[in-house]
Amino acid sequence: MNFDLSKKKLTDINKYLQNIDRKSNVRKFKIENPSGHHAICAGLKDDIDVTINGHTGYYCAGMNQKASVTVHGNVGTGVAENMMSGNVFVKGNASQSAGATGHGGNLVIDGDASSRCGISMKGINIIVKGSVGHMSAFMAQKGNLIIFGDADEDLGDSIYEAKIFVKGKVKSLGADCVEKKMDDKSINELRKIFKDLNISENPKNFKRYGSARKLYNFKIDNAGAY
């Protein structure tokens, strides 16, 4: 089923996609002429497949549950923010806060992602095939941020239990973020993610970063770390 955002209201399209008739066999949808609209495919909650042909604005596929959304274009701020499950594929670049606070599912960005990618992430897997901007994985709590390109300043600042994997260069690490051993467990985790998403990459080419856990509790001796 096709929707044309130049002819149909965003709210009507979102409402339709959020309330799929489970008896219907139609599970694949296309949205044409997104024209940078915000909140396209926000709040989807069914196992459906949506293709968006063009660029989207803020919060595309925000709070997604179960759905698979593919954007053939660039996306604005907060793509797949607070995603719970499902998959979001971005064929272009992403603006800031991609995958912010995401709890689950996979966000795959073929291009670059701007600053604060994966900020406060809570279990999502974010794969960026290009590079990421500064303060990515800031306060990241859980999940994996996998970067094929480079990472800008202050990667993983104040990180909790999330894992960061970088193939390229890291300009600098943020407070309490350190390089960790790329152990077998991490290699196997990465291998599984790549396999599930049909990505051909060797996990051994990545370096791993995570929390030094020195700032988890107030200690006056660590006050200068920030």
Partner 1 sequence: MKKKGLKEFKTFPQSTINEIQRAAKEGIYQIRGLGAKRKVPDFDDLVFLGASMSRYPLEGYREKCNTSVVLGDRFAKKPLKLDIPITIAGMSFGALGANAKDALGRGASSMGTSTTTGDGGMTKEERGSSKYLVYQLLPSRYGMNPDDLRKADAIEVVVGQGAKPGGGGMLLGQKINKRVAGMRTLPEGIDQRSACRHPDWTGPDDLEIKIQELREITNWEKPIYIKVGAARSYYDTALAVKAGADVVVLDGMQGGTAATQDVFIEHVGIPTLGALREAVDALKELNMHRKVQLIVSGGIRTGADVAKALAMGADAVSIGSAAMMALNCNADLYRKDYEKLGTEPGYCHHCHTGRCPVGVATQDPKLEKRLDPKEGGRQLKNYLTTLTLELQTLARANGKSDVRNLEPEDLVALTVEAAAMARVPLAGTNWIPGFKEKD
Min dist CB 64 to partner 1, Å, is 8
Residue 165 CA to residue 162 CA, distance in Å, equals 10
Backbone CA torsion sign across 182, 131, 127, 114: positive
Q: Please state, in angstroms and rounded to a whole number, the distance separating the CA atoms of residues 149 and 169.
A: 7
Q: How far is the CB of 95 from partner 1 (least distance, A)?
A: 10
Q: How far is the CB of 128 from partner 1 (least distance, A)?
A: 17
Please give the structure tokens belonging to residue 104: 């689950």
Of 57 and 156, which CB lies nearer to partner 1 in the complex structure?
A: 57
Residue 79 falls in which region: left (phi positive, over 0), alpha (psi -120 to 50) or beta: beta
| Interface with partner 1 (CB under 8 A) | 10-11, 14-15, 18, 38-39, 42-43, 45, 57-59, 62-63, 65, 77-78, 81-82, 84, 96-97, 100-101, 103, 116, 119-120, 122-123, 138-139, 141-142, 160-161, 216-218, 220, 223
Q: Measured from the CB of residue 205, what is the shortest distance to partner 1 in angstroms? A: 29
User: Which CB, 187 or 215, lies closer to partner 1?
Assistant: 215
CB of 152 to partner 1, least distance (A): 17
Measured from the CB atom, the residue of 18 and 191 that comes closer to partner 1 is 18
Residue closer to partner 1 (CB basis): 26 or 223: 223
C-alpha closest to that of 148 among 197, 184, 103, 102: 197
| First and final C-alpha spacing in the chain | 52
Query: In the complex with partner 1, which residue's Cβ is closer, 202 or 216?
Result: 216
User: Minimum distance between the CB of residue 58 and partner 1, rounded to whole angstroms?
Assistant: 5
* CB closer to partner 1 out of 77 and 106: 77
* Nearby residues of 139 by Cβ (< 8 Å), 6 or more positions away: 119, 120, 157, 158, 159, 160
48-51 own/partner pairs: CB under 8 Å, 24+ apart? 48/17, 48/20, 50/17
